[in-house]
Every structure is written in C-alpha cells, then in structure tokens.
Structure 1
C-alpha cells in the first residue's frame, strides 16, 4: 500500500470529462490527481471497440470547444467519427495538454470516506494505494457501467462470448462463424450492421424493436466546420445557449400548422439528412401524440419499404413506444441488413431466451440456435452504476444513491445533499444525455472550478446542497419533463420508484436554460448550497 498524499482535487475518469477537468483544475493552481481504471485515456471510447462503434453526434460538435487552438488543429475525417478516430483525438488532446502525468492508470477508485473533522475524503484504490482530497470529482459518465450478461447456462457455452461495451483489445474472429447478437439498442444496431457481411451467419435476438434513422455518414460538413473555426469562442457561446449543445440543420414547426403533404416533404428531407435532427422535425413531436404518430408511422413505412420480408419488417417496426421516447438509433443500412440470406431475426418477446447451452442459445419455443460467438449488447446501468461502484460514503456511511429511492437527482445535477465537496459531472438532474456531452462537461467543469475558487477566496472549506434546494430542483426537473411523451414510456431516463411513481432523471428544460440556472446560482453566492 502506498500513500499518494493529499490533493486539492481528485478526478475519477479519464474520458471526455476527466481530461478537461484535470487540465482546468491544474491550470487554476490546484493540486490534482486523476484515477482511471483503464490503461490509458479515452473513457467509454477506450472500451467501446465493438465493430461499427461510432458517435451519433456530428464530429464538429463532439469535441472540445474550450481551446480554439485545439479545435482548429484537429482534422475530422467523417461526419460521425468512428471509435478509433475518437480515441486518437482524445489521446491527441491529452498529449497537447500534457495531463497524463497527473493520472494513475489501471487504478480505480475503490472507496471514498468523507471525514468531516478534516474536511477531506479518504480514498483507497483498486491497487491498494491511499490518498486524501478536499474535493472529489466524478467524471465517470452516465453510460459507462455495463450491464453484464446473467443468462442461465452461460458458463456451459463452449464457444466465445464478448460484450459490446467492453470489447476485448484483441482480434475477434468473425469470418465464417455463426454469430448471435443479443440486444438491438444503439450498440447492437451498429454492431449488426458492421458484421453482417463478415460472418458466416448472424442471428439477432430482439426483445424490443427500436426506431432507427440513417446516419448518411460521409465527409464532414466543411462549410459549417470552417464557420465554427473562424470563431470557436463565439460558437461555444451559441452552444451554451442552445437546446442541446449542438448545431442542428432543421427548423421545426408544429405538425398541425402545415398540410399532410408538407409534413411528408419535411419528413423526407429529414430522412435524407439523417441523424438526431429527426427528433425535431416538428416542434411538438415529443409532447403531442398525434404529431408523434405522424413521425413514427413515417419511419415504420420506411422500414416496410426497405425490408423485403413483410413478416420480418413488422417485427422490426416499433409499436410499443413513440419515436424519440427511447434513444433514437442512428445507423448505416441497419434495416437492409435483414435482406441478407445469412441474417436471421429471432423475436424473444414471443419466445424468450430460455438458457444458453453448450452449443448456442435455446429459446422458449424449443429451438436451439447453434452459435460459435455470442455478442452481448445489453446497455448500461445508467446514471448511478459507475457512482455506486466507486464506494463513496458520507459521514453516516451512506452512499449517494441510498437517498435516491424515489429518483436519482442532484442539485443542478452536480451535487447531492449529505455529500460535501462531491461533484458529479453531468449527473442526474442535469441535461446529461439530452445534450452533447463534450460542451456539457466543459460547462460543468468550469462551474466546479469557479466554485472551488470562490470557496478558497472566501475562506469556506465545504459546500453541500440544502435538502430544500435539492427538492426544489427535483420539482423543476419533474415539471420540465411532465409534457414529454417519453415520461410515460419505460426507458433508462425514467426511474420508477417502489410506489410506482415515475421520475424523469435528466433535466429536459433545454441546455441553455440549465446553463442560466447554473450561472444564476453562482452569481447569487451559490444559492441553495450550504457553505461552511
């Protein structure tokens, strides 16, 4: 066991948030230590190496804006960057900022105990080292703790199995093999499209079909990119005031304000552009069922026109949720993949997976699907998974999520009552996954850095939300989500409490409005927080 000494700030995670956080705190003159379980920087983009992995936010927005020099120096090759390019970019930034020396790699946070008499967290790591810090900053992300497969019989399987979210850093043979994919969320959709032409046979096990729209990936929009480069700081200010911290090409109108023909023309144009802009064809499609039905049926008709087999097409058509009420997938020829002779779709809603056998997967209809390789694309323990794994405890021995039985919520999504000096970047109660997480992380980190500077300048040593302010913010988060169709649909953004109450986790009032809330709280001497 090694004593790593006392730090002003310890940052957990070396992904998009952690890289900038270490840089920002160091440049503020604070002593800082970064902890990262992986052997290098990258965060989820270190682990998400599965075939076809790429971002679904345009590359010119999925990058740092705090430095015009860094923004202009890097050259993106695609509209939606693939995992190797994103990882190369994050390594480039880490080298540019010279932040690696502040990180301990292959070192996870295994426990953090708040000691009030010292106003410090006492930390222990996965390798047995210890340290103390005044401020603990969790830059572990919302979607980083993978859901592990818990299927009966998995240990009996004689073939190979991997997880999309923790794809091994080694060659996985696909050619000629019988491959099964379990899961048709974003990572499943990307994997399926990427490997279908490489494998001998691909069997997709689908429980719930998801809406997906084309990426139309290709070269980056050089006109818009050049415009951003001319005034990176100005464009950053625009993003901080925008709804989702990203540039959008569409100018939505209410569905009922135009004719059915004009509605279809708008939808066709949005389909030809592709991407998440499809969530904003009409201003009211996320809140008005009739407007959403128009968009949903348009996509279902696209699926029917693409997939040759009518029965398979209907299985791929989502009927159990409005479009946009779950994460919209962005794909490259996903639905056309099911026209291939070597691709089969298994509906596990009607015939659930019974168990994994020595030779493959057996479903409840008695069929044995023989496989050489199983790929699990099961998603993540959203919002709280990585936080729970860190073993953080307050003076009373409670974990942050212990008080979140009703719903995960932190004041401004940044701090939770009862846990002094613990900051959770893009946490529950922030826009989080509803905004581009690069600019969102920058904004949160700048707020935290300014907060620490304020505390140091005014002689305070601790900051923690008041119960009343946190409860008021939770009501604000709930009110912002109340009109959304998504609020009434089962998805990872909705927490269902033990009494059946539904609670939306992210702040859905718009990123720009959220930034205004954060700025006002800071201007008013961190109103709603208790400073000691």
Structure 2
C-alpha cells in the first residue's frame, strides 16, 4: 500500500479538481487541467499503476482491436512519434507500457494517488463544491469532479450462487491476477464467449489440459490480420499523423475508415459481394464499422451481410453441431459487439476442447468441485474463468455513492432511467463531468482514444470558460437533458441495434433500464453538436 494511505497530513485536502481514473481519458484530463489550465488537481486510481482498462484486463490474449496507430493521443506530435508499435494490434503488455510512457513523458505520476478507491462524492450546495471520500478515510474538497472511470470497468464478478465455495481458482477476466496464473495441464472452464472470452479461449486452448467453454449467445467474428511492424511500417504510419488529426475526429466511428462504398441498393449483387470479400480480407473491424450503413437499419441488408459472415464461419467450423452453437441466427451482424479473432473457431476442433451450450440448460451454480447445470450435469475444474462481461457505461459510477443536489443519488436515478446530457454531465449534479458515460459515442461505438480525447477537451474548455468568466458552477438544465435523451433515443430506435439483447442495451444486467448506452448518430456528428453547444456559451447549461 502506498505511503499516502497513512499520511495524516493528506487526510483533508482542498483541490480545484479531482479526476477519477488514470486510463486513456484520466491521464489526458489530468494533463489538460494541470498543465494547460494551471489547476490544482489530483487523479485517483484503485490500481497500483496507470492504464485503466489496460491495467486490469491482463488476461491471456488481451489486445487491441483498434489499429495501434489510431488508438493514440493526437494532441502532441512529439508524444505520438516518440512511441513505436511492434504490430498492428498489439497485446496488453505493450499497451500498458505505452500508457506508462505517456505518464512519464507528461510527468503525471506526482499528481496521481494509486491504490485508492473513491467511495463517495457528495455535492455541498452551500459551498458549491464536492466532498470526496476515499477508502482510507481521506476527505477531499474540490470544485470540479471529473469521472474517467471507463465504460467497461465494472466487472460482473458475482454471477452464480456458490462461487465462494469453489476449491480451485476462480477469476474474472476484468480482474486477472497480476502474477502469472499457471494454466498448463489444468482442467479449465471458461464461461462466456464475447470479445474477451474469444481472446482467452483461442489463447489458452493449446496449453491447458482440458478446456470446456460454456456458450449462451453465439457471436459473429472477423479474422484478425495482425502483421508485425518494422522500421519501414512504423515510419509509414507516423508520416500520417497530420492526416489522422484531420480525419479521425470527424469519421462515423473515430476510425481511419468510413462508409465510402456507396449505397447498397445502387450496387449489383456481384459488386456488393466484391466489396464484402475485399473488406473481409483486410482483417479489421472495417466490415462492421465502414462497409454498408444500411445493415444497421434495413432487415434485408442485415440478413445478407449476416449470411455472408455465417458462410465464412461454416467453412471453418465444418461440424454441424459446432455451427449450431457458435453461429448466430437470431440477430444481425453488427448489432452486437463484433470481435476480431485468430484461430478461435479452430480451437473447438482440438481434442482437449469441449463446447457446452447453456442457452436452454443454464449454469445453475458453482460447486466446490466445479459447476452444475440446470439439468444436474456437473463439471469438475481446477480453474474457472468468468468472461461474463461488465455493467457497461453506468456501472463504474453507480458503484460510487454519488449524491447531487437535494441529496439525490445517481445510483438510484440510473436504476430507474439512465439519462445524461451528451454523456458529459447529468442534471442535478453540478460541476460533475463524465467521460465514457452513457449516451455518448465513447460508451461503445467509437475508437476510444478519438472519443475520449474529444470529451476531455470539451470538459477542459468548459472549465476554462467558467474561470475566464468568473463563474463557479455549471449544470445542464432538465430541458436540455430531456432534449438530448429524446434525440439519442430517436436515432437509436431507428436502428436494428435496439431490437436485440446485448450489453449495448444493458440486457446483460438484471433490472438495468433498457436503453442503447452509446450514441449511434456518429462520432463526427456528436463532436459537431458538442462544439455548437460550447460556441453558444454552453447553451442549455445553467451557470452561476
């Protein structure tokens, strides 16, 4: 535990701003407020080091599925060009090293408190400031609270009855132990086959003694092409820095590619197929994020593209039973998160790997020896890996006791209806800013660095505006928030995404209000709307 835990001189502290989290958003937010606005600011993180998502998710096979050269900070050409990636989609250890490089280059560590969990944040209407409390009893008084807690950082760890009775090792992918977990020769069960589960399964299948994979919802996949980078490739992508600065913030998903293949209905069947084949061979998320926008709106287009992917999967799986369990048929391609994979389907052909469908025969409980299904079938394991996902978007904030005006509770409000104003502030919580929160593209539908940088910059500009104009408080009006939620819902409801059950809709958390967590109107459109609000003197926000 770090020394700041016992330093009584720090137990009561007054700051201009508190930043929660030191991932991609938190590091940049600390830099912007401290170095560019000159605020007295500290960042807090429950982890022992920087990285956020890339600190916690150190499970076998964890890696980017955004190209490394665009999953980058673009505010500094020197910072961008000072780091060289070894491959197109690097693994977690390299990503964590990069974020440590950023923290060191910007000299951020001196203003970060590690191994510290924020337990509560209460707004004081009399002082117009926030009182922040940590798990060690520290109390911080601050004018601004900026949450950079991540959109996938509240793991669903307590999923099944009896987990505490298991005699072996039980781990959630989002809280993988920092030391090596020896899986060689072990009897391993993996629960879940989303993007994370797929990365784990394909990585460990060759080293474990036996692997049983428990699958409820099949997933569409795209094969990843991940070439290594030498000096020539690194020089080529670094030469595109200015191009990325100009294009990424204005594309539909914050990636380098956009929907440029024309209208689906204007092409012949042969032309469409040629486009799909070309993009498929590229081995990236382009098929999902930049092939034909119509697949998100039109059932017939969705079905044709979905069947294209199914055919690709059937050709690799061959076994009809595997195809039945692993290939989706009841929802369209792209309406769930689409994972990239490397020989994932082939893992099921290995003699030590068994696929267990739990769609109609769910897991009933964890037992001391392993797990038990509803029909009484039991499986014994040395290690159980829960790839059971997260309480996405809202979970990281509702796990903190956040109280706004009139004692209102964010957890209580969001348990009834998840509402924000552009995913940047919440009515009733003055001077609290959010990144990666619901109803912004950064919740799920974006190259994360593109969207998180934009949000950090908007927040920093807003705080700068307040200080320049000698204002102390800003909060969205109820009318502005209602208008944003209505706009968000109108766009969302026109898509097929809202017709499916996925974590995008909060469907993976029992009792969670149903709403598309991420703004689906486009990254460039969202940025433009945020800029318009700022240019109009933060129209729709009450200031004093």
- TM-score scaled by structure 2? 0.94
| Secondary structure class of the residue paired with 1:181 | strand
Aligned residue among 157, 175, 179 for 2:184: 175
Mapped pair 1:507 → 2:519? yes
Q: Is the 8 Å Cα contact of residues 253 and 281 (structure 1) preserved in structure 2?
A: no
What does the per-residue CA deviation read over 1:461-498, in whole Å, with 9 as the maximum and x for residues that have no partner? 10000000000011111122122110111122225799
Aligned equivalent of 1:166: 175
Change (3 A) 1:498 1:524: farther
| Secondary structure class of the residue paired with 2:137 | coil
**2-structure distance, mates of 1:171, 1:502:** 38
How far does residue 250 in structure 1 lie from its aligned partner after superposition? 6.9
State the aligned residue count.
532
Aligned residue among 392, 402, 409 for 1:382: 392
What does the per-residue CA deviation read over 1:424-443, in whole Å, with 9 as the maximum and x for residues that have no partner? 11321211111111121111
In structure 1, list runs of 5 or more residues that go unmatched: none
Mapped pair 1:29 → 2:38? yes
| Secondary structure class of the residue paired with 1:404 | helix
Change (3 A) 1:224 1:261: farther
How far does residue 365 in structure 1 lie from its aligned partner after superposition? 3.3
Mapped pair 1:136 → 2:148? no
Tell me how large the CA RMSD over aligned residues is.
2.1
Stretch moving more, 509-518 or 143-152:
143-152
| Secondary structure class of the residue paired with 2:330 | coil
How far does residue 231 in structure 1 lie from its aligned partner after superposition? 5.6
Aligned equivalent of 1:113: 122
**2-structure distance, mates of 1:228, 1:199:** 38
How far does residue 501 in structure 1 lie from its aligned partner after superposition? 8.6
What does the per-residue CA deviation read over 1:139-162, in whole Å, with 9 as the maximum and x for residues that have no partner? 001110100133223233222111
Q: Is the 8 Å Cα contact of residues 59 and 220 (structure 1) preserved in structure 2?
A: no
Aligned equivalent of 2:257: 248
In structure 2, list runs of 5 or more residues that go unmatched: 1-7
Aligned equivalent of 2:478: 467
Aligned equivalent of 1:442: 453
How far does residue 62 in structure 1 lie from its aligned partner after superposition? 0.9
Superposed, 1:47-446 pairs within 5 Å as 47-220=56-229, 226=235, 229-230=238-239, 232-248=241-257, 251-279=260-288, 280-405=290-415, 407-432=417-442, 433-446=444-457
Change (3 A) 1:520 1:269: same
Aligned equivalent of 1:487: 498
- TM-score scaled by structure 1? 0.96
Change (3 A) 1:418 1:223: farther
Q: Is the 8 Å Cα contact of residues 392 and 503 (structure 2) preserved in structure 1?
A: yes
**2-structure distance, mates of 1:267, 1:495:** 30
Change (3 A) 1:385 1:35: same
| Secondary structure class of the residue paired with 2:296 | coil
Aligned equivalent of 2:463: 452
Stretch moving more, 274-283 or 142-151:
274-283
